[in-house]
Amino acid sequence: AETRRYQFDVQMTSVTRLCSTKSIVTVNGQYPGPTLFAREGDHVEVNVVNHSPYNMSIHWHGVRQLFSAWADGPSYITQCPIQPGQSYVYRFQIVGQRGTLWWHAHISWLRATVHGPIVILPPAGVPYPFSPAPHAEVPLMLGEWWRNDTEAVIAEALRTGGGPNISDAYTMNGLPGPLYNCSAQETFKLKVKPGKTYMLRLINAALNDELFFSVANHTLTVVDVDAVYVKPFTVDTLVIAPGQTSNVLLTAKPTYPGARYYMEARPYTNTQGTFDNTTVAGVLEYEDPCPVGSASSSTKNLPVFAPDLPQINDTSFVANYTAKLRSLASTQYPAAVPQQVDRRFFFTVGLGTHPCAVNGTCQGPNGSRFAASINNVSFVLPTKALLQSHFTGKSKGVYASNFPVYPLMPFNYTGTPPNNTNVMNGTKVVVLPFGTNVELVMQDTSILGAESHPLHLHGFNFFVVGQGFGNFDPAKDPAKFNLVDPVERNTVGVPAGGWVAIRFRADNPGVWFMHCHLEVHMSWGLKMAWLVLDGSQPNQKLPPPPSDLPQC
């Protein structure tokens, strides 16, 4: 194993999209940011130097961070932010993971522009468990672009209690593509050769939208999700939620030179709210063997084929797609699903409202303020980092260990109950002894229109053992759980008007954030944290913090 060293200079950079220019926060002047490469087993060191005027921290989304919680990155959870002019070296090892993950800023909405791919190759000499071996591998990062400054967009929403302005475009590797006005020059192109297979490393880095993705006239074979191999299956279209990643194979077919096909992404949602309903397109272009300038090298007059994407609210497509995802569960890549459970949890996940504190002028429904919560706690970020407070034994005034946990109970969470005004603010964690096998059922509460919530857990992969629509039934549903080859991942959609059940083993000491990866829901409080205690053995303890850990 090697040590891979990277330098990340966080800085302001002028970028033009859709014919308007704004100054954005970037890493090394790049949007999207640089790709981090490693092999499974490698150590990674990233020196992040903050030259921007914003507080910053970087999260290595999906990296398990075994015994390296200090490097996980969410601001005020595992570290204080890196202040302007300061730096911090993130040190971690890639253990037992290979595939595609990504890194992003983890403070306010700065991840809108501060993000990039993480490509994890298998150890040298270890082949992929699927075939054919790809001729080339291409990161394909989907994002979301606002003409306005995203920090101003979220600050205004939080000030008024209403929803934020929706984005102006989706992007593919930073480019909105030809279906937007004033954007034809900013189109991602992938040149391919007939007969060759390409591996697209898909990442959904959009802030607030699940996306369908499809390539005209080509099929996609899904071989992994969230850096875990799956049993390969082939589809025309896939769906990917913010935070999720997936490697897919695309085989270029015999066709005429210069043939062009759109690769498109556009949102899946079944909320009634406002959202950006536009389409980003990139171009898959077959190589033209004719020299540039010769008659046949001009593709201008050839048609470009577009894919058929599902209807925007096609929830049954999404349910069928997610049901296809199965762990490889082979001898070489077993699925270590906890068969016994030590603690069972039932969390309600959803949107609600707060009455307005002052004079009722908030811009949420009926003059209220939007709130999002887990078990009716809308999480408030502390002003000191939870992990440091825990490690130094100074949790008083920073967090409480009384996150409300209820026994499993039947309850009607669906339909349209009145506005949920029971939501309370708090900074509360669930404490787990080292090694606890956890089963967690998350139930969407549908209180403000059904919307799927992509829940992301830091520090672990979990197994998705069950999911369904309506109310979870503790008497009947567990009997149907898949404990053999459930998909293993770090971000799962709690279906709109439904529930999902996951299992994980708490074998990684530290404080681990869990939150909806829709940034607007995160801002409204749809987040909580698990505190996993040290085990009794010497190799089951969180090491002390690095000396350059930022202070608040």
CB of 490 to ligand C2O, least distance (A): 8
The HSE-up count of residue 354 (CA atoms within 13 Å, CB side) is 23
Place of tokens 């060759």: 196
- State which of residues 201, 390, 458, 521 lies at the interface with ligand C2O (CB under 6 A): 458
Contacting ligand C2O within 100-139 (CB under 6 A): 104, 106
Residues in contact with ligand C2O, shown as a per-residue x/- string from 503 to 522 under the rule CB under 6 A? ----------x-x-x-----
State phi, psi for 76 to the nearest 5 degrees: 70, 5
- Cβ distance to ligand C2O smaller for residue 354 or 458: 458
453 binds ligand C2O (CB under 6 A): no
CB of 76 to ligand C2O, least distance (A): 12
The radius of gyration computed from the CA coordinates of the chain, to the nearest angstrom, equals 23
- Cβ distance to ligand C2O smaller for residue 116 or 282: 116
Size of the site for ligand C2O (CB under 6 A): 11
Which class for 331: exposed (0-12), middle (13-18), buried (19 or more C-beta within 10 A)? Answer: exposed
CB of 61 to ligand C2O, least distance (A): 4
- Cβ distance to ligand C2O smaller for residue 64 or 456: 456
- Cβ distance to ligand C2O smaller for residue 458 or 505: 458
- Find the DSSP H helices in 187-344: 315-323
Close Cβ partners of 290 (under 8 Å, ≥ 6 residues apart): 257, 296, 297
CB of 506 to ligand C2O, least distance (A): 18
List the structure tokens of 427: 């900074």
Contacting ligand C2O within 243-302 (CB under 6 A): 243
Query: How many angstroms separate the CA atoms of 32 and 142, rounded?
Result: 10
E strand or H helix at 377: strand 377-379
Residues in contact with ligand C2O, shown as a per-residue x/- string from 31 to 60 under the rule CB under 6 A? ----------------------------x-
- State which of residues 456, 503, 505, 521 lies at the interface with ligand C2O (CB under 6 A): 456
Place of tokens 């390539």: 215
List the structure tokens of 76: 């005020």
Closest-approach residue to ligand C2O (CB): 61
Contact 41, 123 (CB under 8 A): yes
CA separation (Å) from 255 to 218, 297, 464?
12, 15, 40
List the structure tokens of 355: 């009455």
Residues in contact with ligand C2O, shown as a per-residue x/- string from 212 to 251 under the rule CB under 6 A? -------------------------------x--------
Contacting ligand C2O within 461-500 (CB under 6 A): none
CB of 457 to ligand C2O, least distance (A): 9
- State which of residues 50, 58, 61, 250 lies at the interface with ligand C2O (CB under 6 A): 61
Contact 480, 504 (CB under 8 A): no
Query: How many angstroms separate the CA atoms of 226 and 322, rounded?
Result: 13
Contact 232, 330 (CB under 8 A): no
- Cβ distance to ligand C2O smaller for residue 118 or 281: 118
Contact 95, 66 (CB under 8 A): yes
Close Cβ partners of 171 (under 8 Å, ≥ 6 residues apart): 17, 142, 143, 144, 145, 177, 280
Query: How many angstroms separate the CA atoms of 214 and 309, rounded?
Result: 7
- Cβ distance to ligand C2O smaller for residue 370 or 513: 513
CB of 332 to ligand C2O, least distance (A): 28
CB of 348 to ligand C2O, least distance (A): 20
CB of 120 to ligand C2O, least distance (A): 16
74 binds ligand C2O (CB under 6 A): yes
CB of 103 to ligand C2O, least distance (A): 9
Going 409 to 465 to 444 to 157, the CA torsion angle's sign is: positive
CB of 543 to ligand C2O, least distance (A): 22
- Cβ distance to ligand C2O smaller for residue 76 or 261: 76
Which residues of the chain form contacts with ligand C2O (CB under 6 A)? 59, 61, 74, 104, 106, 243, 456, 458, 513, 515, 517
